[in-house]
Structure formats: structure tokens, C-alpha cells
Amino acid sequence: MRTRSLLPAALLAALSGSLQAWPAQPVEPFVADCDSLDSVPLRQHMNYNADIQPIWSQRCANCHVDFGDDQPEADLSLNPEKSWYFLVNQGSSMAGSNLIRVVPDKPLASLLFNKVNCEVQDQGLRMPRARPPLPLEEQALIHDWILAGAPQEGDDTIFRTRFEIRG
């Protein structure tokens, strides 16, 4: 069970003091058997190349690799120089899927986070495929990176004004 809480959109709209229409929410997939990340402290500062890419390079790269004539699984290259571009704001390559791999600010709407944290209905297997789930710290890091807006580089100057909390 995931216990991350989201304030209702109506309350957020009221808090924002704005009468603007609430933007359409990205689709959240149906998930099951998610790991709780409540025990891992929220991390506010990270660097994509130093903190996130090593997860791909260590645990995903032999399938999601792109060199020579090899095609990466699911048309998702997690090579160091390509991974950010293949993930952020990119749609799933699975036929008929309307899910987005990484929706900045919205881990629960991001296929990537759900695929490493849960079983996702009608979206293949949990990643890393046919291996043990990622350690909770790495799942949490992916969550927190997306929540921080999925920055491409370091984020020493991120100011957190978001309402979502993990745990």
C-alpha cells in the first residue's frame, strides 16, 4: 500500500487563491503490490548524472541499452547521454498505452516510477524485469527526482513549493 497523500484538487485550488481552471491531470495507471517508501526520508537535492543515471547503468542498462545494432527494450534507451531524453515527457512505446514515462512533478502519474514501485496493470512486468525489485532507497530516489521536477542536471536551487508529500 502506498500512503503518499495528495490534497484534494479543490482544496489546492482554494489555497492558490486563483479562479483559473485546474489543469487536466495526467492519467495515473492502475497499480498493485506497491512497496511503501514511508521509511525513506524525502530527498530534496540530487543530481541526475551523479544520483539517478548510476541506477540505470547498474541495473537496467543491459536491456535498455542502445549501441551498435542493438535496439533497447521497449524503445527505451537508458544510455548515459540519452536516458533523460527518452524518459521525460515521453509516451510509453507500448501499443495502445496513453501513459507518460516521466511526468515532471508527478511521480504517481509517471509510468517509470510505477514500473519500479508496483505491478502496473496491462503495462508489462515490474522493472527491473525478472529481477528483484530495486532497493527502497533507489525507488525513493526516482520518486523524489520526479517530484523535484525531473531536472536534467543538479538542482541546488530548487525551492519546494509543492504540496505532495512522500510518507
Q: Give the residues lining the site for ligand HEC (CB under 6 A).
A: 59-60, 63-64, 73-74, 76, 92-94, 101, 111-112, 115-116, 124-125, 127-131, 134
Helix (H, G, I), strand (E, B) or coil at 102: strand
50's CB contacts (< 8 A; 6+ apart) are: 154
Residue 93 or 121 with smaller CB distance to ligand HEC: 93
Measure the CA–CA gap between 24 and 1, rounded to whole angstroms. Answer: 26
Residue 64 or 143 with smaller CB distance to ligand HEC: 64
Residue 9 or 125 with smaller CB distance to ligand HEC: 125
CB of 154 to ligand HEC, least distance (A): 21
Are 46 and 141 a contacting pair, CB within 8 Å?
yes
Phi, psi of 57 (to 5 degrees): -65, -35
CB of 130 to ligand HEC, least distance (A): 5
Measured from each CB, the residue nearest to ligand HEC is: 124
Look at residues 91, 102, 54, 60 and name the one whose alpha carbon lies nearest to residue 77: 60
CB of 16 to ligand HEC, least distance (A): 32
